[in-house]
């Protein structure tokens, strides 16, 4: 088998009819078949195009990916997950995908295998076992199994969850670990497993499948993008019609034929890994700000004088507030209910608006940078304007009443909720996302099945917090004419009716206390 040249190729300088060397790299799905079973296809292309295509079987996925990205290879055959990762470079594009024998799509599965007499009967029982896993760029040997295990609370990257973790070079090696008894369980490609059965290398009676994943789109053939379009078109045409001339084989086993990526249901999506700052970083920043503030700000505080005056004034006010005046209690309760209604409606507006804004404020969800930037500006703008100022403007615009309070709370807290959602989404575990992407999930499916389940507890908790906050803030917005119990509180202060103030404060306290208890019950239910 050939080796990769150290000198990058200049693909754009090639043309049809020119005898030129083109390097074709193949990732190692098995020991040798992945490369050798493509030699007949390469021979066909060379014969009908005057090309000199060199077939190179790489030692691992990383070598094949690097060769394509660095321009040392012009054609490649990668696993779905390896292709997904390599495509982030913008240097490659898929042009064909193989259909396994007897199948109408390229789909295959990752299967977890054990010895036939093994006591392991399900994924839940593989903890503390010896597991053989594939390369971290492998779709069915690592990415998809990682997602499947994460759904039942097992972290494939945490070696402490297993008695031993064995890293295999390819699927054939993982299978050998099971047969030889050096591993208890191993996830492998169903295509490679079936090929081992067909070739006689493995007796089906020796192993048992304990779990089979959902369908995974097959491995694509890819071009290095700078290869001239005329060469791409020529080679793709030969590959898609190769089954009419030769017996087609391919990545991991026998193939029926090669089809376009669209026909083979291969999907490429983007995902991003977001760096996370540790608590030490934030602690250092906070301490730095505190020290600078203490150095630069002259507070002119006399602690003993402050404590003495505060105690004197406070005891005087408390004496005037006793006993509380609960006359007209039904009127006060009606105002309190109006305050709750303002807070609830404001929270509903905030939640409704913050969901799309928060989604597109997350770098790993936003369709492009412009949308991301616009949504981030929106969240900052509404967070920066205090509810009081927003309510005062709205009172002037639409008059006194509950509506200014509803809108002020809704718009202001929308900025906070959107920020919370975006941060939660950016810091989710990327394993499930990458796994779903590798099996051809749409963007909506990745959000629904990989992101939302992870953030749902935080989503509900943040909404409850905002509701609690909005009830408290709604009581204050009445001071600027936004209705509710706040208006009653303002009126009592203006009349120096401190017993009435005391009664209103007690009603507000009891209401907030009850809502806090209900929130705690709901949080426990969702944990």
Q: Give dist(CA 189, CA 107) in Å, integer.
A: 11
Please report, for the chain, the start and end positions of each structural domain, with discontinuous segments joined by +.
11-103+219-259, 110-212, 319-526
Of 3.30.390.30, 3.60.20.30, 3.50.30.10, 3.40.190.10, the CATH number of 110-212 is 3.40.190.10
pLDDT in tens, 143-201: 888 888 888 888 888 888 899 999 887 888 899 999 999 999 999 988 788 878 877 88
User: 331 with 337: CB under 8 angstroms?
Assistant: no
Of 3.40.50.2300, 1.10.3720.10, 3.10.520.10, 3.30.70.100, the CATH number of 319-526 is 1.10.3720.10
Please report the pLDDT score of residue 270 as a whole number: 30
> Tokens at residue 474, please?
């709604």
User: 141 with 166: CB under 8 angstroms?
Assistant: no
8-state DSSP, 21: E
Comparison of pLDDT for 407 and 311, the residue scoring more: 407
| CATH class of domain segment(s) 11-103+219-259 | alpha beta
Please give the full DSSP string across 225-273, using - where no structure is assigned: TTS-HHHHHHHHHHHHTGGGTS--EETTEEEEEEE-TTTTT-------P
Q: Give dist(CA 338, CA 220) in Å, integer.
A: 61
Q: Do 319-526 and 110-212 have the same topology in CATH?
A: no
> Closest by alpha carbon to 85, among 62, 112, 102?
62
Q: Give dist(CA 198, CA 427) in Å, integer.
A: 44
Residue owning tokens 């205090």: 386
pLDDT in tens, 391-403: 778 777 777 767 7
- Ranking 107-121, 200-214, 270-284, 323-337 by mean pLDDT, the lowest is 270-284
Order of all β-strands in the sheet with 207-212? 186-189, 110-115, 207-212
Q: Give dist(CA 465, CA 25) in Å, integer.
A: 54
pLDDT in tens, 302-322: 555 556 666 666 676 677 778
Supply the mean pLDDT for the chain. 76
Residue 112: C-alpha distances to residues 28, 115, 132, 143, 382 (Å): 19, 11, 10, 13, 50
């Amino acid at each position: 088998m050939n080796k990769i040249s150290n000198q990058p190729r200049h693909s754009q300088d090639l043309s049809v009819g020119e005898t030129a060397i083109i390097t074709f790299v193949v990732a190692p799905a098995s020991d040798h078949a992945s490369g050798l079973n493509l030699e007949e296809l390469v021979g066909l292309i060379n014969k009908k195009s005057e090309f000199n295509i060199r077939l190179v079987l790489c030692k691992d996925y990383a070598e094949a990916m690097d060769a394509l990205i660095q321009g040392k290879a012009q054609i490649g055959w990668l696993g779905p997950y390896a292709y997904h990762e390599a495509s982030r470079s913008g240097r490659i594009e898929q042009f064909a995908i193989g259909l396994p024998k007897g199948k109408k799509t390229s789909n295959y599965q990752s299967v977890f295998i054990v010895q036939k007499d093994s006591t392991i009967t399900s994924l839940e029982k593989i903890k503390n076992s010896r597991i053989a896993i594939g390369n971290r760029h492998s779709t069915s040997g690592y990415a998809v199994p990682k997602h499947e295990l994460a759904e039942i609370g097992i972290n494939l990257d945490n070696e402490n969850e297993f008695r031993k973790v064995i890293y295999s070079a390819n699927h054939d090696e993982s299978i050998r670990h099971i047969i030889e008894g050096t591993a208890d369980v191993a996830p492998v490609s169903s295509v490679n497993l079936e090929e081992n059965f067909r070739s006689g290398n493995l007796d089906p009676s020796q192993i048992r499948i304990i779990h089979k994943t959902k369908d995974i789109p097959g491995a694509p053939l890819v071009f290095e993008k700078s290869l001239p379009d005329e060469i791409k078109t020529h080679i793709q045409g030969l590959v898609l019609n190769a089954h009419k001339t030769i017996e087609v084989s391919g990545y991991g086993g026998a193939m029926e034929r090669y089809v376009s990526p669209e026909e083979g249901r291969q999907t490429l999506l983007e995902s991003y890994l977001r760096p996370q700052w540790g608590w030490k970083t934030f602690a250092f920043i906070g301490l730095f700000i505190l020290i600078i503030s203490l150095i630069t700000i002259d507070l002119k505080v006399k602690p003993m004088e402050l404590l003495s005056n505060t105690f004197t004034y406070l005891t005087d006010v408390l004496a005037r507030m006793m006993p509380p005046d609960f006359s007209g209690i039904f009127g006060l309760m009606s105002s309190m209910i109006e305050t709750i209604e303002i807070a609830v409606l404001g929270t509903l507006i905030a939640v409704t608006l913050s969901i799309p804004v928060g989604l597109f404020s997350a770098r790993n969800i936003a369709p492009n940078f412009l949308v991301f930037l616009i949504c981030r500006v929106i969240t900052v703008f509404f967070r920066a304007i205090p509810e009081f100022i927003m309510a005062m403007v709205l009172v002037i615009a639409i008059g006194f009443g509950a509506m200014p309070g509803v809108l002020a709370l809704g718009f202001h807290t929308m900025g906070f909720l959107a920020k919370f959602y975006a941060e939660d989404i950016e810091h989710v575990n990327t394993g499930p996302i990458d796994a779903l992407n590798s099996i051809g999930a749409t963007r909506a499916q990745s959000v629904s099945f990989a992101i939302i389940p992870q953030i749902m507890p935080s989503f509900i908790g943040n909404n409850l917090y905002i509701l609690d906050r909005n009830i408290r803030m709604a009581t204050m917005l009445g001071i600027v004419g936004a209705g509710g119990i706040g208006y009653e509180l303002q009126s009592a202060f203006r009349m120096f009716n401190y017993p009435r103030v005391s009664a209103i404060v007690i009603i507000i306290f009891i209401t907030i206390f009850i809502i806090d208890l209900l929130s705690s019950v709901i949080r426990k239910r969702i944990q």
